[in-house]
Amino acid sequence: MIEMKLVAVLSMLLIILNLISLYFIIGLLSYDEIIGYLSNGKEKSCDPRDLALLFFITGISNLLFISGVLMSRLLFDKNSK
């Protein structure tokens, strides 16, 4: 009984953290270019869209997997009682 509550609470915490990270990833997708200044005075620029898209897909798949596991545990717990 306590284990099921712990799993549910930790899963909800993980869902909340994934939603927060998706908020920042969506913000990162709006950048066209990030410029960094090196110690020798030169500039280094990169396009963050590819990496942000990878993080976005990873975050969405995490949310899908965690939600599926949580729902299946809650549904099977209700049926066993």
Which tens digit of pLDDT belongs to each residue from 28-51? Answer: 988 888 888 999 989 999 889 999
Tokens of 13: 């915490």
Whole-angstrom distance, CA of residue 53 vs CA of residue 58: 9
First to last CA, the chain: 12
Beta pairing partners, 35:
45
The whole-model pTM stands at: 0.74
Contacts of 52 (CB under 8 A, 6+ apart): 25, 28, 29, 31
pLDDT recorded at residue 60? 95
